Amino acid sequence: MSALPNGYELAPVMALPSGFATGAGAAPLDLITNRTTPEKRCAKTFGMAGILGTWGVLVNVPCGQWSCVSCGAKKARRYAGVARGGCALATERIRLVTVTMPREDPRESWRLLGPRFGRFAERMAYRLGRRLTYFGTVELQRRGNPHLHLLTRDSGYVAKAALAAACTGSGFGFVDIRQIAAGAGVQYVTKYLHKSAGQEMPKGVRRIRRSRDWFTEPPTVKSTWGEGWQWQSIEGLDHDAVEAEMRAQGVLAVFRYDQRVDVVAND
Ligand SMILES: [Zn+2]
């Protein structure tokens, strides 16, 4: 019986070397080898080979970028979970806010997206008497401009006129707000998350906007590596060949380790 998805095969069970320190909750089960769906792998995976005495490890580090089809899809799934988790905490009706840009050069829209949003959040906090609780995603429009789709919860009554004033006062264009059922809202926003996966957006754009109180994700397991490991880049090399070479050099056992922890930075 295995809790692992199909296509995963465990490395031979062996005691871990002392230098192989793992984070809290990490188990030898994290040492997974022979993933059988290479086509779904991140094309920009960065590989490292580490040797500690008789032990060796091949580590695959996916690029973790939104613009990567594989990693982008993974990130979209992760943030869909964040959107869902926050909606599940709602005690009032959830509202969906669509914020557009004024008619202008798309480059201006992208450049001003962050500052405008900061001003918008300030103005809303002032009007509501408390900070807005929100989760939002950026949509790349066909004409090249961004749109913002925000879910808000438990922020009290937001008058359309007040919202419109906060938007135009922050430099945004047209705004729309509607009450929605939780499920529908998550579907609406996650649609744009999935659309975002694999899409190129201007460098440095934060595709996710969320208030700190929206939802707290459970901590992810991270591995740390002890002293004494020798690391070498194996980018672009065939891992079977690298493993064979490591064994030829006297390494008795080689684990393959897919670092399946999503990159948390650069929302
Ligand atoms: Zn990738």
The residue written with tokens 């690391």 in the block is 231
Can you give the pLDDT at residue 264? Answer: 32
Name the more confident of 166 and 204: 166
In 3D space, the residue among 49, 60, 54, 58 whose CA is nearest the CA of residue 16 turns out to be 54
Å from CA of 74 to ligand 1 middle: 9
> How far apart are the C-alpha atoms of 28 and 84, rounded to whole Å?
31
pLDDT tens per residue, range 72-120: 888 898 899 999 999 999 998 889 999 999 999 999 999 999 999 999 9
Å from CA of 45 to ligand 1 middle: 6
Å from CA of 243 to ligand 1 middle: 23
Instruction: Identify the band that residue 182 occupies on the pLDDT scale cut at 50, 70 and 90.
Output: low
Spell out which residues have Cβ within 5 A of ligand 1, the ion: 42, 44, 62-63, 68, 71
pLDDT tens per residue, range 149-161: 999 998 888 889 9
Instruction: Identify the band that residue 17 occupies on the pLDDT scale cut at 50, 70 and 90.
Output: very low
Can you give the pLDDT at residue 93? Answer: 84
Å from CA of 142 to ligand 1 middle: 24
Å from CA of 37 to ligand 1 middle: 15
Looking at every residue in the chain, the average pLDDT score rounds to 77
Å from CA of 113 to ligand 1 middle: 25
**pLDDT over threshold 60, residue 39:** no
Å from CA of 73 to ligand 1 middle: 9
**pLDDT over threshold 90, residue 40:** no
Å from CA of 236 to ligand 1 middle: 14
In 3D space, the residue among 76, 114, 17, 22 whose CA is nearest the CA of residue 197 turns out to be 76
Å from CA of 69 to ligand 1 middle: 7
Name the more confident of 166 and 257: 166
In 3D space, the residue among 14, 19, 44 whose CA is nearest the CA of residue 31 turns out to be 14
